[in-house]
Amino acid sequence: NTRVLTGITTTGTPHLGNYAGALRPAIEASALPGVDAFYFLADYHALIKADDPVRVSRSRLEIAATWLAAGLDPERVTFYRQSDIPEIPELSWILTCVTPKGLMNRAHAYKASVDQNTEKGVEPDDGVTMGLFSYPVLMAADILMFNANKVPVGRDQIQHLEMARDIAQRFNHTYKGDYFVLPEVVIAEEVATLPGLDGRKMSKSYNNTIPLFEGGAAALRSAVMRIVTDSRQPGEPKEADDSHLYTLFRAFATHEESAEFRAALLAGMGWGEAKQALCDRLERELSEKRERYDELMAKPDEIEDILQAGAAKARKLATPLMERVREAVGLRTLR
């Protein structure tokens, strides 16, 4: 069987980009024959970006409810919370010890902080924690712990996957054994980067997101109405292919519907009408799921039970793997 694994950092509220770029393809993959799926809440990763305990814990609940409402079947999928698996930070430390610092110096998230600081004229490492710096090692531990073959993610995570492969190879080489499988990145091409309201990548950090379930149909609609469009009038032909409204539409429509929508834009459909059509597509895909989301949010105990059962399943694999790793590096029990 192929092991498919992916995680979402528990900061903020899931948006359409997370849904189309990560959750939806992951849930579809988990239903395929021959697939063992491991999906988790990356709450240790959340601490890198957020130091507000209320926000971190609220976001864990929202993201867990989102996975379940979007159709994740906890009987099929090993669905767990990173912080319930103590073997993950343990493996992360051991991997840290085979990871060259130079490799981490090249990580995009770290380099972006350094560049910003340089622009501002402050110390390059100002405000950079060791958590941010070694973030890719923790992510490698998440993946290597379960010997994942495939990791479906958005484009922004490709470099992290390359680093995970690199770290796995170094460990296997140093300790002379096939301890870790080299994971492959999987990018859903059609929707790899969903644009946000302003056309840039939809991202919490750009403040341009369209909420998935939170706020209900009204919040979704009001966000869609705020999508930036050019000033062409109704009746004037639109540049369909550069319009992010069209990219968003395509992520939620069939090929035929998308072709019709494109033709209508070229024929001069107004942006208002186009936005309405996008809302209709979104509602078709999301309205039932939103109802389930609201039910789940009212029953956190039920979610907690599901996560505990998932952690027990995950640890059945993590415990023996960690034993092998401890043995490999020489941390075995004295007899």
Contact residues toward ligand TYM (CB under 6 A) are 5-9, 17-18, 21-22, 42, 45, 139, 142-143, 151, 153-154, 156-157, 193-194, 201-203
Q: Is 326 annotated as a binding residue?
A: no
238 known ligand binder? no
> CA-CA distance, 101 to 326, in Å (whole number)?
22
205 is in an annotated binding site: yes
How far apart CA 121 and CA 115 sit, in angstroms, is 10
Smallest distance, Å, CB 211 to ligand TYM? 13
Smallest separation (angstroms) from ligand TYM to the CB of 44 = 9
Residue number, 50 or 328, with CB nearest to ligand TYM: 50
* 193 labeled part of a ligand binding site: no
Task: Find out whether 99 is annotated in a ligand binding site.
Answer: no
Residues 329, 180: contact at Cβ < 8 Å? Answer: no
Residue 20 near residue 191, CB atoms below 8 Å: yes
Considering the complex, what minimum distance in angstroms separates the CB of residue 313 from ligand TYM? 17
Residue 248 in contact with residue 227, Cβ under 8 Å? Answer: yes
Nearest to 45 by CA among 183, 157, 142: 142
Nearer to ligand TYM, 42 or 253 (CB): 42
CB of 282 to ligand TYM, least distance (A): 15
Q: In this structure, are residues 153 and 5 in contact, taking their beta carbons and an 8 Å threshold?
A: no
Nearer to ligand TYM, 193 or 229 (CB): 193
Structure tokens at 45: 């990763």
Tell me if 203 is assigned to a ligand binding site: yes
Shortest CA distance to 3 belongs to which of 314, 258, 270?
Answer: 314
Enter the DSSP assignment of 185.
E
Q: Checking DSSP bridges between strand 35-42 and strand 78-81, what pairing results, if any? A: parallel
Give the number of other CB atoms < 10 A from CB of residue 88: 23
**DSSP string for 228-282:** ----PPTTSPP-GGG-HHHHHHHHTS-HHHHHHHHHHHHTT--HHHHHHHHHHHH
Query: Do strands 184-186 and 2-9 pair parallel, antiparallel, or not at all (unpaired)?
Result: unpaired
Among residues 74 and 154, whose Cβ is nearest to ligand TYM?
154
Q: Which is nearer to ligand TYM, 133 or 269 (CB)?
A: 133
10 a known binding residue? yes
Q: Is 156 annotated as a binding residue?
A: yes
CB 182 within 8 A of CB 165: yes
Q: How far is the CB of 154 from ligand TYM (least distance, A)?
A: 2
Of 138 and 269, CB closest to ligand TYM: 138
Q: Write down the least CB distance from residue 308 to ligand TYM, Å.
A: 20
Residue 196 or 269 having the CB closest to ligand TYM: 196
Closest distance between ligand TYM and the C-beta of residue 117, in Å? Answer: 21
Give the span between the Cα atoms of 306 and 309, in whole angstroms: 5
In whole angstroms, what is the distance from residue 144 CA to residue 175 CA? 15
333 is in an annotated binding site: no
- Residue 134 is assigned to a ligand binding site: no
185 or 264: CB nearest ligand TYM = 185
Question: What CA–CA distances, in Å, run from 14 to 7, 66, 212?
Answer: 12, 7, 6
- Non-local (6+) Cβ contacts of 115 within 8 A are none
Q: Which residue minimizes CB distance to ligand TYM? A: 21
Tell me the binding residues for L-tryptophan.
Answer: 142
Tell me the binding residues for ATP.
Answer: 9-11, 17-18, 154-156, 194, 201-205
